[in-house]
Chain A
Amino acid sequence: MSPAPVTPSSAFRRMLWEDNPVLVQTLGICSTLAVTNLVKNTLIMCLGLIFTTACSSLVIAVLRDRIPKQVRMMVQVLIIAAFVIVIKILLDAFLPDISRELGPYVGLIITNCIVMGRTEGFAMGNRPLAALADGLGAGVGYSLVLLAIAAVREPLGLGSFFGVPILPTDWTRWNIMVIAPSGFFALATFIWVARLVKGGAPRPGARPA
């Protein structure tokens, strides 16, 4: 909670790079990393996450002075879950095949640490517009990293991008890029590069659990 009100645009930009939830805090990768072997599925998941963080941050910032302390967490979970259920219903109704491919991962947005982290860490103490921008920024910053991972994994592993073949047919597919271990390697590499670019690694103890 900052003493001076944060402007929406600075809240948005800060989450994209300086405080990027994945690169800096390694938070919230659970729900999406598993689907990063296909760009299309990653994109849908990321849109869902952006929608959830933005909406729940906005709603919680609007209600922030009225939410009783004792039930704070429960109310947050309730609101987040409601938005995630909305996404699930829309996917089931209009994109049933993608919904089936994503399986449980849509529901797991609820326990994505980023959503709860932004509502609890920012929206509870800031104005609605700033909270909306902060939620959007966190979602977009997160999405950029995961889409970048997917954009490496799908072409190398399957020779395609967004389902469209882009590499020559005699391209030897890197099968490891499609299976789980490469998700860990790809993410670690991105964190490494990001920290090199930023210069000076943050001290390991400084991260929140």
Chain B
Amino acid sequence: MDVQAISPLVIFFAAITTNNILLTNFLGMCSFLAISKDMKSSLGLGAAVTFVALCTAPLNWMVYHWLLVPFRLEYLQYIVFILVIAAFVQIVEMMIERLSTPLYLTLGIFLPLITVNCAILGCALFLVIRGYTFLQSVAYGGGCGAGWALAIVALAGIRERMKKRSKVVPELEGPGIALILTGFMAMAFVGFSGIVRIN
């Protein structure tokens, strides 16, 4: 009857499309603008963000509901979420480094960038504010990460093509044109709203 009524599937698809954390909430812009110059890095960073968001969303949900709420420490959520994300990223980085060199080179090198990625922290803060259940927060975390990855890969593709074929006013080169392209993408993503109606 309350927010529990929204199916995790709807939350997942909404987080990728109409509710895209980058295109509608502007989160994770710094690394988005810097990294989207290069397709290969975008794929790596996108995958890393998806993985970390998918895992830290339920982690932060558990920490918040099982630790902070019972001890009435909700006001410390910001710092605790940051620490959880930082610790998780650190552990995963160490594990990947030990286990597989190729994986480390494609994914691991992007992990340190993620600790300060607003999209990951934003995801944790949104799921608390919206009162998601555990399952909903798993779906939301996965959706946020996948949506962010989709946006950066799409922009990287556009930018790579533009580099070869188009001329941009010098003042708009770099972040300027990237922002305008992102604006168009944000408009295009509005068109996805029709598909999020699995109720």
Indicate yes or no for A touching B, C-beta below 8 A: yes
| B16 smallest CB distance to A (angstroms) | 15
- Please state if A110 and B78 are interface contacts (CB–CB under 8 Å): yes
Give the bracket for the number of chain B residues in contact with chain A.
35 or more
Q: Which of B33, B169, B183 lies in contact with A185, CB distance below 8 A?
A: B183
Considering the complex, give the chain B residue whose CB is closest to the CB of A22: B175
A192 to B177: give the CA distance in the assembly, Å.
Answer: 9
Task: Convert B151-181 into 0s and 1s, putting 1 for each residue whose CB lies closer than 8 angstroms to a CB of A.
Answer: 0000000000000000001111111110110
A111 to B30: give the CA distance in the assembly, Å.
Answer: 10
Instruction: Given A104-B126, A108-B27, A111-B116, decide whether A201 and B183 contact each other with a Cβ distance below 8 A.
Output: no
Interface contact tally, CB-CB below 8 A? 128
- Please state if A34 and B26 are interface contacts (CB–CB under 8 Å): yes
Query: For A31, what are the chain B residues with a Cβ–Cβ distance below 8 Å?
Result: 118
Chain B residues at the A interface, C-beta cutoff of 8 Å:
23-31, 33-35, 75-79, 81-82, 86, 116-118, 121-122, 125-126, 129, 169-177, 179-180, 182-184, 186-187, 190
Considering the complex, give the chain B residue whose CB is closest to the CB of A33: B26
Considering the complex, give the chain A residue whose CB is closest to the CB of B187: A181
Query: For A171, what are the chain B residues with a Cβ–Cβ distance below 8 Å?
Result: none
Give the bracket for the number of chain A residues in contact with chain B.
35 or more
| A202 smallest CB distance to B (angstroms) | 9
A30 to B86: give the CA distance in the assembly, Å.
Answer: 19
- Please state if A104 and B116 are interface contacts (CB–CB under 8 Å): no
- Please state if A184 and B179 are interface contacts (CB–CB under 8 Å): yes
A81 within 8 A of B: yes
- Please state if B78 and A88 are interface contacts (CB–CB under 8 Å): yes
Considering the complex, give the chain A residue whose CB is closest to the CB of B113: A209
Considering the complex, give the chain B residue whose CB is closest to the CB of A185: B183
A38 within 8 A of B: no
- Please state if B176 and A191 are interface contacts (CB–CB under 8 Å): yes
Task: Convert A25-44 into 0s and 1s, putting 1 for each residue whose CB lies closer than 8 angstroms to a CB of B.
Answer: 01111110110000000000
A192 to B184: give the CA distance in the assembly, Å.
Answer: 17
Query: For A116, what are the chain B residues with a Cβ–Cβ distance below 8 Å?
Result: 116
- Please state if A85 and B30 are interface contacts (CB–CB under 8 Å): no
- Please state if B182 and A184 are interface contacts (CB–CB under 8 Å): yes
| B109 smallest CB distance to A (angstroms) | 13
Considering the complex, give the chain B residue whose CB is closest to the CB of A114: B30
Q: Which of A74, A111, A195 lies in contact with B118, CB distance below 8 A?
A: A111
A192 to B173: give the CA distance in the assembly, Å.
Answer: 9
| B183 smallest CB distance to A (angstroms) | 3
Q: Which of B23, B26, B78, B169 lies in contact with A107, CB distance below 8 A?
A: B78
Which residues of chain A from 38 to 58 have any CB-CB distance to chain B below 8 Å in the complex?
none
Query: For B78, what are the chain A residues with a Cβ–Cβ distance below 8 Å?
Result: 81, 84-85, 88, 107, 110
